Chain A
């Protein structure tokens, strides 16, 4: 599975959009991009995933570049409850659980 690179930390003002980048330059053609987040003292929570096209659900939007070497998770209106560690992982759809989570990005939403 391809490796990912994320900034260690980011801040965002409450109510503003949070844009979390992820670099996955070695991604292969059939690997998906998955995003999870982990709020303090809880287990990680699945957010969204995508292959080529941009995706949106009730939690977030995922923008994947045309060359698929990077992606951005967008939380459109960040709240204080969105403060968490966000993990970007790349994997084949059949076995994402084996992928390396890395250390993620700690997003702090400030009032």
Chain B
């Protein structure tokens, strides 16, 4: 079974530039999450989707971050404009609707903002 796919694995940009991350969840997983993980800390939830609807985006900095999950499968997370403090690993995870405690994570996209 294919796992959660994320790209790019690494991205370096300058502050005020924009960046987009892509996630393809495990087939059949209706629930999708984006997390931000700053070095030395645990993952912090940014947004949760169920199918193509947003369940929770209370922790998403909406002035610069946006996310979408068109057609209820792939998802993109965008940052525009990026700040230095956005340097982190962005993790995507998916789960079945009825077993949302068992999350399957991708390898993450590491962002460095200079």
- Contact residues of A with B, CB < 8 Å? 32, 34, 36, 41-46, 49, 85, 87, 91, 93-98, 100-104
CB-based contact B40/A97 at 8 Å: no
The residue that A93 contacts in the complex, of B56, B100, B105, with Cβ under 8 A, is: B100
CB-based contact A96/B56 at 8 Å: no
- Contact residues of B with A, CB < 8 Å? 4, 31, 33, 40-45, 48, 56, 91, 93, 95, 99-108
| 16 further contact pairs, Cβ within 8 A, besides A36-B103, A97-B45 | A41-B107, A42-B108, A43-B4, A43-B91, A46-B102, A46-B103, A85-B42, A93-B101, A96-B100, A97-B31, A97-B93, A97-B100, A100-B42, A101-B43, A103-B40, A104-B42
Please report the C-alpha to C-alpha distance between residue A104 and residue B48 in the assembled complex, in whole angstroms: 22
Please report the C-alpha to C-alpha distance between residue A43 and residue B31 in the assembled complex, in whole angstroms: 17
CB-based contact B45/A96 at 8 Å: no
Please report the C-alpha to C-alpha distance between residue A33 and residue B107 in the assembled complex, in whole angstroms: 24
Residues of B within 8 Å of A41, CB to CB, are 107
